[in-house]
Chain A
Amino acid sequence: MIGGKFKRKQAKLSPSQAKSRAWFFTWLDVLAIGAWGILMLRYWLTGKLNLLIHPDYFWLVISGGIGLLIIASSKAWQLLRQRRSSKGAIVQHVTLFPPGMSSSLLLITAIMGLTFTPRVFASQTALDRGVTDSLGATRAQPQAFRSARNPEERSLLDWVRTLNVYPEPDAYAGQRAKVQGFVIHPPELPPDYILISRFVITCCAADAYPVGLPVKLSTSRQAYPPDTWLEVEGTMATDTLVGKRQLTIQATSLKPIAEPENPYEY
């Protein structure tokens, strides 16, 4: 129906007007597709792709970006050649959306993507999504599991995975821990506890889910505001928190660190 209206409107235009309109919209297409190609490659080159998808799928995005650029540039080359030889009319296609709307939408999104930087998820999202020390609520099963690791070499996710395989907190009491993550202040925990957490992604940010372990501090948690990245060292102990026995890190040292290049775990 939209196409029908457009058709009638087109009929009123003189041939030269219609041609320059078509010319404009074709260039808009080229720009929109090219901009998406640039956006995807730029995310890769600036390392921002880490924030959006799992590294396993980087090659898809990279080849997609290159593909989009090839299509855009071949059309651009063809348009330029056409102008020089000025032969061959541009076919005006009637489409679902009014002309230019789709490509404008794509172009605007690409420009927004190029202007704003995606940010890693923070503690509020983790609270919304429900942090656990269990992978049971998630799909991802431990895939590469190395139990022979030294306890202090385990990452937060390694700990969670270990705990999932053998969920008896007492078994780990006294082991040394050294993990990195960001701070969450869950309202249900006492004021001298924080949750140290990481987001785990299996495919893209849409499926990111948080995992975390409670950390017992010797002071109030006010010194470590939410979303601060910390390296926590300490020993493992069992605590009863919110009516549940849980593996807890008794912190001996808490060192603020910069947000890692790769904020997610896989």
Chain B
Amino acid sequence: MTSALGSAPTGRDDRRVRPTPTRAHRFRWARAAGTGWLYVLPALVMYAVFVLRPLVLTLQYSLYDWNGIGVARWVGLDNYLTVFTDSDLLKIIGNAIVLIVFFSFIPVALGLLVASMVRRITTGTFGTVVRTILFLPQVIPLVAAGIAWSWLLSSNGLINQVLRAVGLGGVARAWLGDFDTALPAVGVIGAWVLLGLCTILLVTGMSKIDPALYEAARLDGAGPVREFLAVTLPSLRQEIGVCLTVTIIAALASFDIVYISTSGGPGLQTTVPGLEIYRLAFSQRQVGLASALAVVLMLLVLACVLPIQRLSRGEKP
């Protein structure tokens, strides 16, 4: 799910200019505040019932040993202790962090590279076609991306076909089934999904930069690298922040792609927290442990995303 977190909500803090406070008006304003609440209420109720309540329950479950059916036994923080000490669970959290490199850094780095060279995707038909195609991976279900890439990366899939054609047949393998390459292969799928989105956001941001800044940099004798560091990077801070936020959440909360392409195997090589929560809760019946892992995952997402929000929202120099 792509969510847009980059824009600071621009609440104008000016006090409302009230009309002349005749009694009738004052009465109407007071009533408006009351009815105003009625507008917010339906959304708030749905959110409270289907998000806040489950969230509180997750916290509660995480303190118990419960199989989902019988009596729950209070265990305090034991589940959390297990999450942080069990070598398998630590490995699973580590996998999610490795995926950040693929899901976030590769798309953002490549997107920046393209953006710094293209500056603006040409308008007109070519631009529309480019944008449409680059957005495709965002639009299709992740499940479909998983199926398509499982086929590309399989023993007789396209990737190996290409390798054999250029004489690298010795390297060919079932990429998603191989112990050493499975996790990077899953990462490649995520990179493919997010690459277009990041590129378009960054190129769009690029087109808003005042060309005068570049003129000035050139006059000062800055080469392409200096120019990139002094002008492009600072100007794109907000867009980079958005890309990092969206892609890091996608990496940490990945589920669909892994479930479809590897089911977490071979061994635990590609098991990610999302998949492990699902397994623990619904096949191993360890609801307490699953919930503790869910809480840790939530905190991990916040720990990664909040600093990025801080950095990217600062005043532009």
A is bound by B:
no
List residues of A whose CB falls within 8 A of some B CB. Answer: none
List residues of B whose CB falls within 8 A of some A CB. Answer: none
